């Protein structure tokens, strides 16, 4: 039986640390092992769900593309709706899929129904 794992990301994707990259790598490995992976983006991490967010020249990984690949492979994704206008470098820019916009109630339900909750921030 698959374990439900929720990964919550908070930080700007390209902030000079590898938190986001490591979280996405972990999500991919867990998904490949058959676990049910969910990712919730909030605060400045919401830029990860925006096509306008581009990989800086100094960074070797395209984190937005990594997230899209996870999403299209079946990893569940939700992004804070109120953070769309409030957070990130690209405030008010749309998410790459409007279906992923969520509320704090959605996050609460995911926390309640997950077997494990991991935060990266």
DSSP 3-state percent helix, strand, coil across the chain (nearest 5) = 40, 20, 40
Task: Convert the pLDDT of each residue in 21-30 to its tens digit.
Answer: 999 999 999 9
pLDDT in tens, 60-89: 999 999 999 999 999 999 999 999 999 999
Instruction: Tell me the C-alpha distance between 59 and 63, whole Å.
Output: 9
Q: What structural domains does the chain harbor? A: 4-13+26-120 (3.40.1260.10)
Kindly indicate the confidence band of residue 121, based on its pLDDT and cuts at 50, 70 and 90. Answer: confident
Helix (H, G, I), strand (E, B) or coil at 31: helix
What's the pTM value of the predicted model, to 2 decimals? 0.96
Q: Could you give the dihedral angle defined by the CA atoms of residues 119, 43, 79 and 8, in that order, rounded to the nearest 10 degrees?
A: 0
Distance CA 59, CA 24 (A): 15
The DSSP H or E segment spanning 70 is: helix 63-72
């Amino acid at each position: 039986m698959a374990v439900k794992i929720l990964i919550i990301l908070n930080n700007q994707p390209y902030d000079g640390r590898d938190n986001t990259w490591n979280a996405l790598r972990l999500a991919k490995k867990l998904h490949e092992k058959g676990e049910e992976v969910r990712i919730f983006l909030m605060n400045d991490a919401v830029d990860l769900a925006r096509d306008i967010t581009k990989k800086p020249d100094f960074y070797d990984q395209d984190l937005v593309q990594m997230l899209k690949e996870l999403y299209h492979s079946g990893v569940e994704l939700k992004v804070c709706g109120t953070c769309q206008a409030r957070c990130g470098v690209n405030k008010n820019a749309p998410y790459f899929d409007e279906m992923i916009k969520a509320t704090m109630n959605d996050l609460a339900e995911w926390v309640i129904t997950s077997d494990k909750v991991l935060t990266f921030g």
